């Protein structure tokens, strides 16, 4: 159907914004994964070996190594001097406790910090410096510099320096390689890394005594491993982050007491080795860059955390919706069965509300429907409804043979009205004005009815409070993958969603493919409005707000032709979604009305057809992110759980409709193409609406699924 609402092209600039948002999202996730040692996750390196005179010189030397000259120079700390060093911090729980212990004992230490932790805990770094402690570089993400490429090592060191500049206004000349220990363990790989570190201006710090506190062997064992023999000086390695460090805190307290009794001085590494301070002032530009880095890291962390909460909330809402709608569908099916039995009993007793079958007018708006109009009209004429049926085909300025084909059939009760193109709503209003009866049925020109459809569809109108009835639309061309996906969507949408909407009194749409209306209901809302591209949704909301009931009749089946390509599907759903947004905005005042319809209907549409689809890319991005940087099993398990839940609800919906469940094999594949297409349609539609553009009516190419024979696909009702 074509309408001249506006001839401007759809806006395209918003796709740049969508891509930019996707890039920023991926960038934020990558940065958060990187700084938390998830992207580029490092593991303890394999044994590092080597045999050379230079290595022997390093192994025989002290723990402070200067590799800037042609030959390595090693330094030891002074006698009766302990240089306590702490790796992997700062940690918001354990580092303050370590600092408290040092202050009580009047001691200072050297902290080899991880840059990412510095950005997360800037106050702790400032406290370290204020208490006279020393800072060293331990890379930004605890990366193994012996296996990392040179650019990665330089990046790790530089980022840490920027973080230190942004927090404490300093740089440091000390570095300790992650996973390093004593000089005796240095091999070829560590030696090469130390050369690279020296070229960047660093002194490499190893250790004399490794407390092995990371293994939590007990306080006594940590103290024994940390005590220097006799009166020698020592660089002692501890950890103030990376796990439970309660044993470390207790061991440091006891060790400092013991060292004090032995006449030791516990101080920073440079003081212990007789070197100038490791700290140098950072430039103003580095301070600004450091502050920007800290802000960016915190933003990425907050963003990732919020995405996690959004993902959890979206998943929970989706599961709750599925569970609720299955329960409501079950209740509706039982109620509908009871009502049908009472209706059949009334027919047998002759006590129905209608003493005789009321006459019905069927309106078929048609624009370029030559491929399927014959099948549509023939199926309407072939009805077994005992009352009089008038069929009006309104040709809305077709440029093909639609009108000629409909007129040439010569079928009884069929009238063809030709008019200039004005859009589907105008065509429907023309049909309504020309209709001879008060019960009106609207059907699209690509749809065919079963013989019993008309009779079943109008039955609920026997209740004078009912103003409109939604029928059960089914996909006729379901052989291809796209057709099967739409078939599942239609069955679930009609047999779960519309049943629930019927019970809750919040039916949003009587579909254009099949709907019955009371003329007085249409008159009360001024007919079909031209305000939106989803005239069926707009009309349904208006009728409901006017006080009429809108119900669903499952046995009134109509077979329609669904789009056969992704491009055609996009055009159709884009129009539907945009039109629904227009209708929601037009009827936004319903949320303030006494009738709960507006709050239920618009609340549901806003949450499940706008907000969650807009957030749906988060699910895919987070899933890919988790598969790439973490254990894939939880992601696969969650995905399998959702597919299973959807399959179970789909099976029940198919069972309610008497359809075979074998089609569910395509449901997992639906998650990889169809789902993405649907949420991109929502993004596109929302962007179009926000930008204030008016969308043209998108016509769909008809394939003539039901032509030339009007035979209907067989369906087993299971009843």
Q: Check: CB of residue 536 under 8 Å from CB of residue 660.
A: no
Q: Give the Cα separation of 445 and 417 in Å (integer).
A: 14
Q: Check: CB of residue 134 under 8 Å from CB of residue 269.
A: yes
Cβ partners under 8 Å of residue 29, min gap 6: 300, 303, 304, 307, 621, 622, 625
Closest CA to 193 of 209, 181, 204, 208: 204
Is position 87 annotated as part of the catalytic site? yes
**Residue 491 Cα distances to 462, 469, 486, 663, angstroms:** 26, 17, 8, 11
Q: ω before 90 within 30° of 0 (cis)?
A: yes
| C-alpha dihedral (593, 597, 603, 608), degrees to nearest 10 | -160
Q: What does the angle CA 193 – CA 143 – CA 289 come to, to the nearest 5 degrees?
A: 100
Strand (E) or helix (H) holding 2: none
Q: Give the Cα separation of 416 and 421 in Å (integer).
A: 15
Q: Token digits for 130?
A: 């204020």
Q: ω before 218 within 30° of 0 (cis)?
A: no
Strand (E) or helix (H) holding 86: strand 81-87
Closest CA to 564 of 364, 703, 674, 708: 703
Rounded to 5 degrees, what are φ and ψ at 458? -90, -10
Q: Check: CB of residue 269 under 8 Å from CB of residue 135.
A: no
Length of the chain: 719
Q: What does the angle CA 80 – CA 83 – CA 87 come to, to the nearest 5 degrees?
A: 155
Chain-centroid distance of CA 521 in Å reads 41
The full DSSP string for 307-341 is HHHHHHHHHHHHHHHHHHHHHHHHHHHHHHHHHHH
Q: Check: CB of residue 527 under 8 Å from CB of residue 432.
A: yes
Q: Token digits for 151?
A: 């650019």
Q: Give the Cα separation of 366 and 557 in Å (integer).
A: 20
Catalytic site residue from 36, 239, 279, 684: 239
HEC profile for 538-557?
HHHHHHHHCCCEEEEEEEEE
How would you class 356 by CB atoms within 10 Å of its CB: exposed for 0-12, middle for 13-18, buried for 19 or more?
A: exposed
How would you class 242 by CB atoms within 10 Å of its CB: exposed for 0-12, middle for 13-18, buried for 19 or more?
A: middle
Catalytic site residue from 87, 91, 213, 497: 87
Residues labelled catalytic: 87, 239
């Amino acid at each position: 159907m074509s309408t001249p609402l506006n001839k401007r092209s759809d806006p395209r600039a918003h796709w740049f914004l969508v891509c930019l948002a996707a890039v920023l999202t991926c960038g934020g996730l990558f940065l958060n994964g990187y700084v938390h040692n998830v992207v580029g996750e490092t593991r303890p390196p394999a044994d590092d070996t080597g045999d050379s005179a230079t290595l022997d010189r390093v192994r025989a030397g002290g723990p402070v190594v200067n590799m800037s000259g042609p030959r390595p120079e090693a330094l030891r700390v002074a006698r009766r001097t302990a240089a306590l060093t702490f790796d992997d911090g700062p940690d918001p729980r354990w580092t303050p406790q370590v600092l408290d212990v040092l202050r009580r004992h009047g001691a200072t230490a050297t902290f080899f910090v991880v840059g990412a932790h510095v950005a997360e805990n800037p106050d702790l770094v400032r406290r370290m410096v204020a208490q006279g402690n020393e800072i060293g570089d331990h890379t930004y993400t605890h990366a193994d510099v012996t296996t990392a490429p040179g650019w990665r090592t330089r990046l790790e060191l530089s980022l840490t320096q920027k973080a230190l500049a942004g927090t404490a206004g300093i740089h440091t000349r000390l570095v300790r390689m992650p996973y390093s220990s004593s000089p005796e363990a240095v091999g070829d790989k560590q030696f090469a890394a130390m050369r690279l570190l020296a070229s960047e201006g660093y002194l490499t710090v190893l250790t004399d005594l490794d407390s092995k506190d990371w293994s939590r062997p007990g306080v006594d064992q940590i103290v024994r491993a940390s005590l220097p023999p006799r009166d020698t000086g020592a660089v002692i390695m501890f950890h103030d982050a990376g796990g439970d460090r309660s044993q470390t805190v207790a061991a440091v307290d006891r060790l400092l007491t013991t060292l004090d009794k032995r006449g030791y001085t516990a101080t920073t590494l440079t003081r212990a080795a007789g070197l100038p301070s490791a700290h140098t002032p950072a430039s103003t530009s580095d301070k600004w860059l450091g502050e920007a880095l800290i802000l960016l890291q915190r933003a990425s962390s907050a963003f990732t955390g919020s995405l996690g909460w959004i993902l959890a909330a979206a998943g929970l809402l989706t599961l709750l919706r599925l569970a609720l709608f299955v329960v409501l569908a079950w209740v509706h099916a039982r109620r509908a069965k009871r009502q049908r039995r009472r209706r059949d009993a009334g027919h047998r007793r002759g006590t129905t509300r209608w003493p005789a079958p009321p006459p019905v007018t069927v309106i078929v708006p048609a624009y370029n429907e030559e491929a399927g109009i014959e099948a549509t009209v023939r199926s309407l004429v072939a009805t077994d409804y005992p009352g009089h049926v008038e069929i009006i085909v309104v040709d809305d300025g077709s440029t093909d043979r639609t009108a000629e084909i409909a007129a040439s059939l010569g079928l009884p009760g069929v009238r063809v009205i030709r008019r200039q193109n004005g859009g589907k709503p105008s065509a429907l209003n023309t049909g309504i004005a020309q209709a001879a009866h008060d019960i009106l049925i609207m059907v699209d020109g690509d749809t065919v009815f079963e013989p019993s459809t008309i009779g079943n569809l109008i039955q609920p109108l026997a209740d004078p409070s009912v103003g409109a009835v939604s029928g059960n639309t089914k996909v006729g061309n379901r052989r291809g993958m796209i057709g099967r996906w739409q078939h599942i969507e239609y069955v679930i949408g009609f047999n779960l969603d519309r049943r629930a909407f019927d019970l809750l009194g919040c039916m949003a749409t009587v579909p254009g493919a099949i709907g019955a209306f009371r003329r007085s209901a249409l008159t009360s809302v001024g007919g079909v409005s031209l305000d939106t591209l989803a005239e069926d949704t707009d009309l349904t909301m208006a009728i409901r707000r006017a006080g009429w009931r809108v119900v669903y009749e499952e046995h009134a089946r109509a077979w329609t032709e669904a789009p056969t390509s992704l491009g055609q599907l996009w055009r159709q759903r884009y129009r539907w979604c945009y039109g629904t947004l227009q209708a929601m905005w037009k009827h936004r005042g319903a949320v303030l009305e006494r009738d709960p319809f507006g709050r239920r209907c618009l609340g549901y549409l806003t949450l499940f057809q706008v907000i969650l689809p807009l957030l749906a890319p988060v699910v895919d991005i987070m899933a890919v992110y988790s598969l790439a940087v973490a254990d894939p099993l939880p992601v696969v398990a969650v995905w399998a759980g959702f597919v299973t839940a959807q399959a179970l609800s789909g099976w029940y919906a198919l069972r309610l409709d008497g359809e075979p469940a074998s089609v569910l094999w395509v449901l997992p594949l639906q998650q990889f193409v169809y789902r993405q297409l649907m949420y991109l349609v929502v993004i596109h539609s929302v962007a179009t609406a926000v930008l204030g553009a008016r969308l043209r009516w998108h016509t769909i190419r008809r394939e003539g699924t039901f032509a030339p024979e009007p035979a209907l696909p067989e369906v087993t009702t299971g009843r």
